[in-house]
Amino acid sequence: MRGSEADSRRRWWSVDPYVAALLATVALAAVLPAGGRAGETVSMASDIAIGLLFFLYGARLSTQEALGGLRQWKLHLTVVTATFVVFPLLGLAARICVPHLLTEQLHVGVLFLCVVPSTVQSSIALTSTARGDVPAAICAGTYSNLLGMALTPLLAAWLIGSQAAFTAEGLLRIAVQLLAPFIAGQLLHRRAGAFLARHKRRLTVLDRGSILLVVYTAFSAGMEQHIWQQLTPLRLAGVLLVSAALLSTALAVTAYAGRRLGFGREARVAIVFCGANKSLASGLPMAAVLFGPQAGPVILPLMLFHQLQLLLCAVIANRWPAEAPAAPEAESVPDAAPVR
């Protein structure tokens, strides 16, 4: 028991290695930002990395499995409503924190955080830990990300306005960098899907390396434009406080909705973790496309929210199984023949 309690405490305060790498990348951009020709080269490499990320997303997705999951449409509609309706409303309400806790630019980042789709891998892992409906979590996260390719730019343009690149040129850039690679990946899924599944670990390194490059590019541009001078420790604390309030409210709303709508326990677990989490992997590339050189301050709330959701949801997931009905013990049969 002591070992289990120690493991639980360790999970509470530990920082995810990927988040640590993100923070190290931000520090590197602060000390050695890419400017001039180097900045142009890094920016071009970042654009290629974004296209590669969405190509891999499309190539991994099984269209047949995604369509099969539509049977649980009520659950998926609940998650989509939480992600693209409840969260944006909360982001608009966070306007009251300007200028005391947030600057205008940081509030833009909070709004963008609120229109980002749900995470997939974290939601699945958390749902599994809490003994929830894992297939439902897989489909809900997938649908959220598919819708996010259209809804995130639309909502960003509506809520944020001119700061998001929703001009004709911006739409073309979104289509070229996000939609076209994803569709190409889907078309090659039958040929490449099995290969990608076999090399999942190596490709995870490629995925995360690409996102680190996107973060480095965004924060380097911010350093070049001196936009970090307005980010004081008090502002950072304000972003953390607002992010914690958003996450806590989203968890409470999704938990209440799951009970109110009559879902079973396993489905409610999937709704909470898919509806209250946000995807760093999808959000960062989208921000780079939508905001260009101004993406640095915009992605900061998303990065902080991501760490908070990992910490808090891990605690919830590890405690939730205690509420699950105990599995019936198999009756012992003396002198039974071994099953082969």
One pLDDT digit (tens) per residue for the chain, 340 residues = 444 444 444 444 455 677 788 888 888 988 888 888 888 888 888 888 888 888 887 887 777 766 666 788 999 999 999 999 999 999 999 999 999 899 888 999 999 999 999 988 788 889 988 999 988 898 898 899 889 988 998 898 888 875 555 555 666 677 777 788 888 888 888 888 778 878 777 787 888 888 888 888 877 877 776 666 667 888 889 999 999 999 999 999 999 999 999 999 999 999 999 999 999 888 888 888 888 777 878 888 998 898 899 889 988 998 886 655 554 444 333 333 333 3
Specify if 2 maps to a domain.
Answer: no
Q: How many CB atoms lie within 10 A of CB 29?
A: 23
Q: What is the pLDDT of residue 340?
A: 38
Q: How many folded domains does the chain comprise?
A: 1
Cis amide bond preceding 17, omega within 30 = no
Q: Residue written as tokens 């709508």?
A: 261
Cβ contacts of residue 20 below 8 Å, gap of 6+? Answer: none
Specify if 327 maps to a domain.
Answer: no
Specify if 105 maps to a domain.
Answer: yes
Q: What is the pLDDT of residue 186?
A: 82
Rounded-to-integer distance, Cα 207 and Cα 203, Å: 6
pTM of the model: 0.78
Rounded-to-integer distance, Cα 45 and Cα 146, Å: 24
Tell me how many degrees the CA angle 266-269-274 measures, rounded to the nearest 5.
130
| Radius of gyration in angstroms for the set of CA atoms belonging to the chain, rounded to a whole number | 21
Alpha helices in 116-232 (DSSP H): 121-129, 134-160, 168-174, 180-187, 189-198, 200-224
Residues 80-102: b if buried by 16+ CB within 10 A, e if exposed: bebbbebbbebbeebeebeeebb
DSSP string, 149-182: HHHHHHHHHHHHGGGS--SHHHHHHHIIIIIHHH
Rounded-to-integer distance, Cα 82 and Cα 7, Å: 32
Specify if 5 maps to a domain.
Answer: no
Specify if 263 maps to a domain.
Answer: yes
Any idea what the CATH number is for the domain that residue 116 is in? 1.20.1530.20
Instruction: Please answer whether residues 217 and 94 qualify as being in contact, where contact means their C-beta atoms are separated by less than 8 angstroms.
Output: no
Specify if 329 maps to a domain.
Answer: no
Instruction: Please answer whether residues 284 and 302 qualify as being in contact, where contact means their C-beta atoms are separated by less than 8 angstroms.
Output: yes
Specify if 336 maps to a domain.
Answer: no
Q: Which domain holds residue 249?
A: 16-320
Specify if 330 maps to a domain.
Answer: no
- Could you tell me how far CA 221 lies from the centroid of its own chain? 23
